[in-house]
Amino acid sequence: MAAIKRIVAAGAFAAITLSAPGNASAEDYSKVEGYIHSFNNNVSVYSGVFALNKDVDLDTSVYFKYNIDLINPDTGGDEGDVEGGDDDDEGGEDDALNKSRAVSAVSGASSAVSSAGGSSATDTRHALTLGASRNFNNIIGAEAYLDYSAESDYRSLTPTVTLKKDFFEKNTTLTLGYSRNMDTVSGRFMDNAEDKTVDNFFVGVTQVLSPFTIAQIGYSRNQSSGFQSEGIRLVPVDGVTADTCTDETATCVEEVFPETRSRNAYLAGVNHYFSGGLLDRSSIKLTARYYNDDWDITSYTGDVEYYKYLSEEWLLRLNYRYYTQTAAFFVKDSYSSVDEFKSSSPQLEALDSNLYGAKLAYLFKEGEKISDTVSLGTIEGKYEYYTETIGVNAHIIMAAIRLIF
């Protein structure tokens, strides 16, 4: 068995180095997207994205993206009902908890909302991405990106490198990736800023199965060390209730998480194009992901996307995603002050979620110019509905325009 493994590995290695790979250049485009994420707790997040992709030559392209998220929690009036929570009370502990869930976790940006009610303020997150990709002499393709994001209590700098190699007449693509998140956390309940480092490794293979079908498998490994919490939530201990836990005291304490976290995700997918018949000019993509980590969270994700050209100009997409996860080993209904780990984070609880969506795009005829160098590409709009069993629902609306130059 070991000999067979060595032979196959040697053969694959030789095939990789002897065969011709390379990536074709992408299209020159500019895209503007606007989003509204509207939660059932009267919290809204407004987001804008501007992206630019430009070919320097046939082998090289550069990429720029700017993203802004503006959180706007509603600070006045009726707190409103929250569906699906453990208790059915209007306002009070459960609603305040759900409000913090919405605000603190919606875009990575946090607000000054504590784990239970209290005053809130808007917050803004800025994110910038710079990237470049190049095909080196038809031997290998490489991409490098640098992401930077900043908000009032969180900064993150993430370089990413990806290598891609095609072989077997470009029927197989091997992707290897590495990124490192270098984060600085300074939540409102923290005395000092703390660092967190996350190393991410990825390997994936895409295989063309037929002129109509592509399959993918992938594995990612994520090693996190440093401050794992966000410093924006308090945990009531020793019988204190969440709605009274507004400031740090002996019975209303900061979250405490383990100092490291190791995560694994396994991905498999298939993408198929239909030609002819009722489904002519449509495609379906099915993706499944299994995740586990050393905090004992296990999750399963199933995703389906269906695209259909309604005509030469109109493209419809329907999508659905199901997700389920178990809770972290240290998550409890209530904590005592002697518990080693304490959490108010909704991310670490057992939950199921569903995401339903539809998107419609208008495709301009290629070459429909609005100036000498700029053509219209697409205009699109989407609606998605996201719902979690822990009580938060969100309506997501997006509008976007893509220009080609």
Find the binding residues for other proteins in span 202-231 (CB under 8 A).
Answer: 202-212, 214, 216-222
Cβ-contact 35, 153 below 8 angstroms: no
Largest CA distance in the chain: 72
Of 8-16, 90-98, 115-123, 245-253, which part binds other proteins (CB under 8 A)? 8-16
- Give min distance, CB of 234 to other proteins, in A: 19
Q: Is 374 in the site for other proteins (CB under 8 A)?
A: no
- Give min distance, CB of 283 to other proteins, in A: 5
- Give min distance, CB of 160 to other proteins, in A: 9
Residue closer to other proteins (CB basis): 188 or 272: 272
Q: How far is CA 6 from CA 13, 17, 27, 251, in A?
A: 10, 16, 41, 60
Burial of 82 (0-12, 13-18, 19+ CB in 10 A): buried
Contacts of other proteins in 90-119 (CB under 8 A):
105-108
Q: Which two tokens stand for residue 14?
A: 């030789």
Helices and strands: H and E segment counts in the chain = 2, 18
Of 72-80, 85-93, 240-248, 261-269, which part binds other proteins (CB under 8 A)? 261-269
Of 56-64, 70-78, 189-197, 237-245, which part binds other proteins (CB under 8 A)? 56-64
- Give min distance, CB of 168 to other proteins, in A: 4
**What secondary structure does DSSP assign to 52-82, as a single string?**
EEEEEETTEEEEEEEEEEEEEE--SS-----
330 Cβ contact partners less than 8 Å away, ≥ 6 residues apart:
257, 258, 295, 339, 340, 341, 342, 343
Q: Is 397 in the site for other proteins (CB under 8 A)?
A: no
Cβ-contact 188, 248 below 8 angstroms: no
Of 79-87, 231-239, 252-260, 283-291, which part binds other proteins (CB under 8 A)? 283-291
Q: Is 346 in the site for other proteins (CB under 8 A)?
A: yes
Cβ-contact 60, 84 below 8 angstroms: no
How far is residue 259's CA from residue 119's CA, in Å, rounded to a whole number? 30
How far is residue 333's CA from residue 242's CA, in Å, rounded to a whole number? 11
Q: Is 19 in the site for other proteins (CB under 8 A)?
A: yes
Binding mask 163-192 for other proteins (x = CB under 8 A): -x-xxxxxxxxxxxx-x-------------
Of 50-58, 81-89, 92-100, 232-240, which part binds other proteins (CB under 8 A)? 50-58
Of 72-80, 244-252, 334-342, 380-388, which part binds other proteins (CB under 8 A)? 380-388
24 Cβ contact partners less than 8 Å away, ≥ 6 residues apart:
58, 135
How far is residue 10's CA from residue 197's CA, in Å, rounded to a whole number? 35
Which stretch of DSSP H or E encloses residue 289?
strand 282-293
Among 22, 84, 91, 118, binds other proteins (CB under 8 A): 22
Contacts of other proteins in 130-169 (CB under 8 A):
135, 138, 162, 164, 166-169
Binding mask 284-323 for other proteins (x = CB under 8 A): -----x-x-x-x-x-x-x-----x-x-----x-------x
Q: Is 278 in the site for other proteins (CB under 8 A)?
A: no
